[in-house]
Amino acid sequence: MKKKTLLVVFLVFLAALSVRAGAQEVKAPVHLRVASLDLGSAWYVYAATFAKLWREVLPKGSTIDVLPFAGGIGNALVLDKGDADLGFLFGATANWAVQGKVAYSKKIDAITGLVGGLDKYYAAMMATRRSGITSLEEVAKKKLPVRFVAQPMGSASEFSMRLILEAYGMTYDEIKSWGGAVTPTSTGVAQAQMVDGKAEIWINVVTAGHPAVSELAISTDLVFLPLSDEVIKKLTALGYEKTSLPAKSFKGQDRDVPLVGWPTILMAHKDLKPEAAYLLTKTIVENKEKLVKAHAGFKDFTPEDAWKLDKYGIPLHPGAEKYYREKGMMK
């Protein structure tokens, strides 16, 4: 009798495990669109890397389209319109989106978090040494006719450039009135203009060792401009984090550079199926080694802390939350 009872209990236990596992299984093909940034950007590489890993675990017939748009501001709007299922944002920009402030005129409640703290980004300001520019204070004070380049409109880089210039008392129109220029453009064009002498300053939100900036630093002598304490204070009030670009991040950069920055967050539309969100999250969190091989920016990723999106006010997707709780990361 006891043996029969134990057998029944064991079978019930196995059935429970089967149901539990099946609940997280993605049985039918899925079709996903990932909002990143333009070709040549780190986020495009991130998305392509994630897509490769996801294709290995998703059902046969699944498709993943990497969208070369719209950046750290625009991606929240792309998800909100339903034009993407997943996308990258920064910690602060995601917070702006859910609160409807700074760069957003309304609250966006369609975005939820999957994976946080993927890397560490810096709002870097790179001047060509031949320009003789050593600070943005100098540009503002002397009203220098400087030609700026940044990432496309809708990117966090372009928006950050706008905020940084304003913190120094400059606007796009004023810079143009001095004979300068402000050109939001693609990564490749911005890099080429700096090399060709058609631009003097490139403001870009980058990781340490960012490929495009690394290439530029090899071909062109650069000066990495620091942010003043006053400007850092203004920017941290908006949600940026005070930090420093570590010395030797790029060729010719021999000292730490005081800046502001933030981490990348992988977001998902709230309507993404829980079992899909669970699997996508699991695949990223459990493959740091493969991520680092694809892009050096992932070296700052701490998988055990990937769930900590609450400090930005971002709700976790239920599928991602289930994964983190099952792994014991969340209590």
**203 vs 170: CA distance, rounded Å:** 14
Give the pLDDT band (50/70/90) at residue 1: very low
| CA angle centred on 43, ends 157 and 209, rounded to 5° | 80
Give the model's pLDDT for residue 237. Answer: 94
Burial zone of 327 (CB within 10 Å; 0-12 exposed, 13-18 middle, 19+ buried): middle
DSSP 3-state percent helix, strand, coil across the chain (nearest 5): 45, 20, 35
Q: Are 205 and 123 in contact (CB under 8 A)?
A: yes
Question: Between the CA of residue 25 and those of 65, 226, 234, what are the distances in Å?
Answer: 21, 49, 47
Give the pLDDT band (50/70/90) at residue 261: very high
Give the model's pLDDT for residue 189. Answer: 95
- Is pLDDT of 113 > 60? yes
Phi, psi for 237 (deg, rounded to 5) = -65, -20
The candidate with the shortest Cα–Cα distance to 222, out of 188, 244, 199, 189, is: 199
Give the model's pLDDT for residue 24. Answer: 57
Residues 70-88, mean pLDDT to the nearest whole number: 96
Q: Are 330 and 306 in contact (CB under 8 A)?
A: no
Give the model's pLDDT for residue 32. Answer: 98
The candidate with the shortest Cα–Cα distance to 167, out of 225, 244, 229, 99, is: 229
Residues 142-154, mean pLDDT to the nearest whole number: 94
Mean pLDDT of all residues in the chain? Answer: 91
Q: Which two tokens stand for residue 3?
A: 């043996």
E-strand stretches of 146-251 = 147-150, 181-184, 201-207, 222-224, 241-245
Q: Are 39 and 186 in contact (CB under 8 A)?
A: yes
Q: Are 73 and 83 in contact (CB under 8 A)?
A: no
Question: Between the CA of residue 317 and those of 15, 105, 205, 277, 278, what are the distances in Å?
Answer: 27, 24, 26, 7, 9
- Domains in the chain (CATH in brackets) are 28-119+264-326 (3.40.190.10), 121-262 (3.40.190.10)
Give the pLDDT band (50/70/90) at residue 22: very low
**302 vs 144: CA distance, rounded Å:** 42
- Identify the DSSP state of 297: G
- Is pLDDT of 285 > 80? yes
- Is pLDDT of 9 > 60? no
Give the amino acid at 289.
E
Burial zone of 282 (CB within 10 Å; 0-12 exposed, 13-18 middle, 19+ buried): buried
What would the pLDDT profile of 115-141 be if each residue is shown by its tens digit?
A: 999 999 999 999 999 999 999 999 999
Q: Are 266 and 283 in contact (CB under 8 A)?
A: no
**241 vs 311: CA distance, rounded Å:** 12
> End-to-end distance of the chain based on CA atoms, in angstroms?
40
Buried b (16+ CB within 10 A) or exposed e, 53-83: bbeeebeeebebebbbbbbbbbbbbbbbeeb
Give the model's pLDDT for residue 40. Answer: 81
Phi, psi for 257 (deg, rounded to 5) = -120, 115
What would the pLDDT profile of 163-208 be if each residue is shown by its tens digit?
A: 999 999 999 999 999 999 999 999 999 999 999 999 999 999 999 9
Q: Are 89 and 117 in contact (CB under 8 A)?
A: no
